[in-house]
Amino acid sequence: MFWLIPLLPGASAFILAVFGKWLPKKYVSWQACLSVFASFGISLVSFFGLLKVPPGSLPVIKTLFHWIQSGSFNADLSLQLDPLSSIMTLVVTGVGLLIHVYSVGYMAHDKGYQRYFTYLNLFTFAMLILVMGANLVLMFVGWEGVGLCSYLLIGFWFEKHSAANAGKKAFIVNRIGDAAFILGIFFIFLIVGSGDFRAITGAIEGGAITQGMATLIALLLFAGATGKSAQIPLYVWLPDAMEGPTPVSALIHAATMVTAGVYMVSRMNLLFTLSGVAGQVVGIVGALTAIFAATMALTQNDIKRVLAYSTISQIGYMFIGCGVGAYAAGMFHLFTHAFFKSLLFLAAGSVMHALSGELDMRKMGGLRKYLPLTYPTFLIGAIAIAGVPFLSGFFSKDAILTHAFAQGQYFIWALGLMGAVLTAFYMFRLVFLTFFGPERIESHAKEHLHESPRVMTVPLVILAFFSIIAGYVGLPVVLGEKANLFSRFLDPVIHPGPEVHLGISTEWLLILVSVAVALCGIYIAYVFYLKSPRTPHRIVARFPALYKLLYNKYYVDEVYNAAFVKPLVNGSQVVYDNFDLKVIDGTIDGTAAATSFAGKVLGLFQSGLVKDYTLVLLLGVVIFLGYLLF
Amino acid sequence: MSFPILSFVTFFPVAGAVLLIFVPKEKTNLHRYLALAFTLITLVASLTLYFHFDGAVADPQFVEKSGWLGYGINYHLGVDGISLWLVLLTTFLLPIAVLSSWTSIQKRVKEYLIFMLLLESGIIGVFVSLNLFLFYVFWEAMLIPMYFLIGVWGGPRRIYATLKFVLMTMFGSLLMLVAIFALYSFYYKATGTYSLEIFDFYKLILNPQVQGWLFLGFALAFAIKVPMFPFHTWLPDAHVEAPTAASVILAAVLLKMGTYGFLRFALPLFPDALERFLPLLSILALIGIIYGGLMALIQKDIKSLVAYSSVSHMGLIMLAVFSLNTEGVEGAIYQMLNHGLSTGALFLIVGILYERAHTRLIKDFGGVSSQMPVFSAFFLVCLLSAVGLPGLNGFVGEILCLFGIFKTSQLQAILAVSTVILAAAYLLWMYQRVMHGPITNEKIRSFKDINKRELGYLVPIIIMMFWMGIYPQPFLRKMDASVSRLLDRVHNRERIFLRETSQTTSLKSDRAAEAEVDQTAKKILAELEEKR
Amino acid sequence: MIPVGYFFSLSIVLFVLGIIGFFVKRDLITMFMAVEVMLNAANLAFIALAKAAGSPAGQVIVFFVITVAAAEAAVGLAIILLVFRQKKSIKAEDMRLMKG
């Protein structure tokens, strides 16, 4: 039954793709939402069914048919359900459903309505294949599939150059990671002889993979993850991806697709644990990304870009979790992040909707009285992400940092903590600039200023609700060994990491530190943007170079462009002009010309006079006779 | 076999061409319908090949053999798991090619269609011949209609392009002819009987030195046809100048004759020479992959962009062939079909654009998507098939090719995998510049979305793309036996040692040759020993 | 019986005259006649040798040569006529279409 979960949205996408042109909008919305709703229902049923399945018989596998089979390369089309994929299906279909519903309102007046829902359903399908695929190849199918949908949806408004560009950039950057991912798959096939997750687990447990090989494979796979999950060095596509419609940013570029890398690392956790080095790399890349992206978020004025950098940074946290061996904590952060980040995006979308598409925070302010529902929900999201106690983000972020500390990864822990200050700061900078302070709204936008329709606000409220309570399934260990339901549920899949050897007092102290850090960040934001709004300008005036560096995002795009894209294109042009056209074609044309020249030269002997020819003939005869006679 | 189905498939288009000769010139539509009917009947006939083909048998099936000119020159046809697919690809694409030139060809329609039909026969003949003489006849005969198709109905630089194409191909095939004669005489010396049968030649064992020369003769002919770097420059020129349908056939089927030649002749006939030249050929293929991709990146004409992408894709196919393992070779054959479909489709799509805009320069386009939404979807699917997106045919072939390469040499695979990135880069960049962005050229506003006829020939291709991507089993399983037999021939040298019955089989004296063979064998053994 | 040498001498003289005629004369008709003279010189040699050797083979060849010469004359003259119609001249120098 559970194999229907991906197929329903897939079938819906197929119908919309083929017949969408002739279907009325109303029908399209119902079909798209209902298919995801049905998937969500099945996911819930399967989830509860899974609770009853004894851990020994996990995962439940359904093989549909043999897909590719040639020599030792073998990939079946088979789906699996285990706690890890179950959680992912719930997140994908649950958040996906809310975003589908929200989109009905948000995209109501777009002329590409049918196309939009086709892509959105297709994305849900691909994402579910990614999380339910029972082997690496099928996972890669979903992996590429979501990449394609991301390309299509980022470039949804393809008439805009920037949107088309961003889509293409996302796809190509992702492909760089994917190339490494493919190599990782190949190494696994070479050693294990199969891409099946069970076979891989068996091979690792049976000691078939050496540590060095595990490191190589894990790093290749992780390179794929840096592309998909927007980590250093391949994160550059995500900020640009904000060109897509906002619900898309919420679903794909916050809640689900970009966290696929975290899912993949958790899925392959045995490999990363076996390698050790790879886990360390994951943790360090995650930590660096977390802080690097957070600094870039400080100076952005585009509301969605701030959220985009925040997403990159939060995924960095998830990778910190995976890197220090706390895969469950990483997944937990993925889980809570899906709620509050999609909430933030959708609320930001609601703000944009209210302001006729305005994205610049400098042209907002004081919106809280105009948007009575958007404001509180956005605030809940901001509090959750900032790590204020009793909301979901606090529990998950704290779990990650505690584990990092417990593993003795003090450097990573410190970076994470710094990131937490920055997170709290830029999120509240966003809140204060948007909803508080003086109104800076442009007049034409103000005329149409209105709260969004119910179809958009209801999903906000539901998401806000979950942003508050989602954390309570994963309470800290201090509150009891069995408090962390989330991690216990994942136990059958995730190799239980090294024990946390922290005294109760240390753990409480760590919790206090992170609370203090979060509140501190919020307070600084309050001082900067509400109490004395001149402060940021003074700081900018003191450190103009630093500000410029941050504002231009460390010039990474420019560097990549100058270091890779330009040389490649220009170099190809030079090679084409000189080698292809001159050397190769020159040789060929030269051969032809030489032949034709030789013909011309020999042609000079052809006078056209019969007598000349006869004379030559005669001479020939004489010479021949002479040769014969003497 | 009671009914000579292969002869029927091969020569039925010729019958059509003969019939067309007697239809008055003015009735252009009658010509078109007749040509379509003949290609469609050929397609249906070739489908029976598919249904009756037994995938468990490695030997050629549907064999027809009868004496022809004597001295080993026989009429001998048959298909195995490798050629079957190429025949089907040809018969599948020909009706599409005829449909695609329905309105774009307006002058000399009769002659055009006659040449199309002759071309079909010539190509099918190449794939089904099991006698080298017959093979060579078809190999050369096929050039003639192609020469006229490009030379008469082509673009402004058509004479240059067509001469370049024909001369380069001829250059290679003449050397191959010499090699064929040499094989013929070696076989006669060894056995005292005349034969030009491929399967007889498989039994021949030759001195490695001689093998080297003969291998080069064959390999050059095929390498030019594929085309492998650095013999690729005829391809962009020919494509740019050729009319749409000719481009489709050229890219989709003609290039496959080169890879097919490697699989059928160059590899199994000269295994020792292959071993010697393998590094060189692999490097050329590898260069082709990357070089083709980089050149495609900067092309200004959509057609030459697709042509360079062909160079890159064919490089991957060749590298997979040279990996000499099941995954690689099956992947290569599969990718040959994929490349036929996706590149063929891309040329059709460029043709559709050209019919509307009368230009193929990328800079003249922009924002076409908003004017032609259905077309843009088709374009995207074909493009993604070429990029190798999972769920479409390209992925299955590409991943098998890459895995085959990987098994043989990980370093090569690491370099070859760059095609994954490059293909996405040049194709999507082109797509973006042509289809996306605001409409810059006012002419684009008058473009009409694709009509029923265009839909009619694109839809079958798209269906095939999805089918081959989602359920490749029927295709792969029919290759198994033939591919494993081929690899056996290459690896295990299971050939009957004929030399003992003869005085000499080589140019050198017998003893020297024998000593040389022994020496190489010893060397190989020593090397193997060392590796262990 | 006249010795064969005499016939040979005559044949050579005729042949050389033919060659000279061919190279010296400019109009096609005369050149053509010169060729005929050469042919007949060869014929004479053949006949003489045939008689001397007592073999009929030489005579048979002469018949062939005469036939070929007749055909050649017919075709050649026709060509010359056509050339004259086109060019209003039968000078050999005027026909240089084969010039490379």
What's the token pair of residue B275?
């071993």
Q: How far apart are CA B125 and CA B87, in angstroms?
A: 9
For chain C, give every domain's residue range.
Answer: 4-91
Chains that touch C (3 or more CB pairs under 8 A): A
A242 close to A309: Cβ distance less than 8 angstroms: no
Cα dihedral A595/A601/A602/A607 (nearest 10): 140
Q: Which amino acid does the sequence have at B424?
A: A
What integer pLDDT is reported at residue B531 of this predicted model?
62
Q: Is B81 on the interface with A (CB under 8 A)?
A: no
Residue A602 to chain C, least CA–CA distance (Å): 8
The one-digit pLDDT tens for each residue of chain C (100 residues) are 788 889 999 999 999 999 999 988 888 899 989 999 999 999 999 999 898 888 888 899 999 999 999 999 999 999 999 988 988 888 888 777 777 6
3-state secondary structure A7-26: HHHHHHHHHHHHHHHHCCHH
Nearest CB partner across the interface for B326, out of A70, A160, A573: A70
Choose the mutation target among A614, A617, A619, A622 for the interface with C, i.e. most C CBs under 10 Å. A614
A183/B413 Cβ within 8 A: yes
Cα dihedral B175/B180/B183/B189 (nearest 10): -110
Please report residues of A whose CB lies closer than 8 A to that of B471: 65, 67
Kindly tell me whether chain C and chain B come into contact, counting contact as 3+ Cβ pairs under 8 Å: no
The one-digit pLDDT tens for each residue of chain B (532 residues) are 468 889 999 999 999 999 999 988 888 889 999 999 999 999 999 999 999 888 888 888 898 988 888 888 989 999 998 999 999 999 999 999 999 988 888 888 899 999 999 999 999 999 999 999 999 999 999 999 999 999 999 888 889 999 899 888 998 899 999 999 998 988 888 888 888 988 888 888 788 888 889 999 999 999 999 889 889 989 999 999 999 999 999 999 999 999 999 999 888 888 888 888 999 999 999 999 999 999 999 999 999 999 999 999 999 999 999 999 999 999 999 999 999 999 999 999 999 999 888 888 999 898 888 889 999 999 999 999 999 999 899 999 999 999 999 999 999 999 999 999 999 999 999 999 999 988 888 888 888 888 899 999 999 999 999 999 999 998 999 898 889 888 888 886 644 444 443 444 443 445 555 566 666 666 666 766 666 5
C99/A607 Cβ within 8 A: yes
Residue C25 to chain A, least CA–CA distance (Å): 10
Q: How far apart are CA A96 and CA A254, in angstroms?
A: 11
Pairing between β-strand A60-70 and β-strand A73-81 as defined by DSSP bridges: antiparallel
Backbone angles phi, psi at A344, to 5 degrees: -60, -45
C100/A608 Cβ within 8 A: yes
Backbone angles phi, psi at A70, to 5 degrees: -160, 120
Residue in B closest to A17 by C-alpha: B377
B89 close to B248: Cβ distance less than 8 angstroms: no
Residue C73 to chain A, least CA–CA distance (Å): 17
Q: Taking CB atoms and an 8 Å cut-off, how many pairs form between chains A and C?
A: 29
Sign of the Cα pseudo-torsion (B113, B116, B122, B123, in order): negative
Q: With pLDDT > 90 as the criterion, what percentage of chain B qualifies?
A: 59
Q: How far apart are CA A561 and CA B78, in angstroms?
A: 54
Which residue stretches of A324-373 are H helix? 327-354
- Residue among B28, B95, B153 nearest B458 (CA): B95
Q: How far apart are CA B498 and CA B183, in angstroms?
A: 13
What integer pLDDT is reported at residue A493 of this predicted model?
82
A422 vs A334, B114, B226, CA distance in Å? 19, 74, 58
C96/A607 Cβ within 8 A: yes
B476/A179 Cβ within 8 A: no
A605/C97 Cβ within 8 A: no
Please report residues of A whose CB lies closer than 8 A to that of B331: 70
Please report residues of C whose CB lies closer than 8 A to that of A604: 100
Q: How far apart are CA A36 and CA A101, in angstroms?
A: 10
Q: Is B308 on the interface with A (CB under 8 A)?
A: no
Q: How far apart are CA A37 and CA A121, in angstroms?
A: 11
B294/A571 Cβ within 8 A: yes
Residue C1 to chain A, least CA–CA distance (Å): 30
What integer pLDDT is reported at residue A444 of this predicted model?
79
Q: What is the CA radius of gyration of chain B?
A: 23
DSSP state of B509: -
C23/A608 Cβ within 8 A: no
A521 close to A383: Cβ distance less than 8 angstroms: no
Q: How far apart are CA B191 and CA A343, in angstroms?
A: 83
Q: How far apart are CA B276 and CA B263, in angstroms?
A: 17
- Residue among A463, A230, A174 nearest A345 (CA): A463
Q: Output the pTM of the full model.
A: 0.88
| Count of Cβ atoms closer than 10 Å to residue C3 Cβ | 10
- pLDDT tens digits for range B445-490: 888 888 899 999 999 999 999 999 999 998 999 898 889 888 888 8
The helix (H) or strand (E) run that includes residue B63 is strand B61-70
Q: Is A52 on the interface with B (CB under 8 A)?
A: no
Q: How far apart are CA A84 and CA A331, in angstroms?
A: 9
What's the token pair of residue A386?
């900032």
- Residue among A7, A244, A257, A242 nearest A115 (CA): A244
A436 close to A366: Cβ distance less than 8 angstroms: yes
Interface of C with A in 31-90 (CB under 8 A): 31
The helix (H) or strand (E) run that includes residue B203 is none
Which residue stretches of C1-100 are H helix? 4-24, 28-53, 57-87
Interface of A with B in 164-223 (CB under 8 A): 164-165, 167-168, 171-172, 175-176, 178-179, 182-183, 186, 189-190
Q: Is B471 on the interface with A (CB under 8 A)?
A: yes
Q: How far apart are CA B259 and CA B251, in angstroms?
A: 12
A176/B421 Cβ within 8 A: yes
Who's near C70: CB < 8 A, 6+ residues apart? none
What's the token pair of residue C90?
């039968």
The residue ranges of chain A whose pLDDT is under 50 are: none
Which residue do the tokens 């260990």 mark?
A477
Nearest CB partner across the interface for A164, out of B163, B291, B436: B436
- pLDDT tens digits for range B120-161: 999 999 999 999 999 999 999 999 999 999 999 988 888 999
What integer pLDDT is reported at residue B513 of this predicted model?
55
Assign residue A171 a region: left if phi > 0, alpha if psi is -120 to 50, beta otherwise?
alpha
For chain B, give every domain's residue range.
Answer: 5-63+76-157+239-249+287-507
What integer pLDDT is reported at residue B459 of this predicted model?
94
Q: How far apart are CA B310 and CA B232, in angstroms?
A: 10
Packing angle of the helix pair B271-297, B302-322 (nearest 10 deg):
150
Evaluate whether the domain defined by C4-91 bears CATH number 3.40.50.970. Answer: no
Nearest CB partner across the interface for B432, out of A164, A183, A576: A164
Residue A570 to chain B, least CA–CA distance (Å): 8
Chain centre to alpha carbon of residue B3: 28
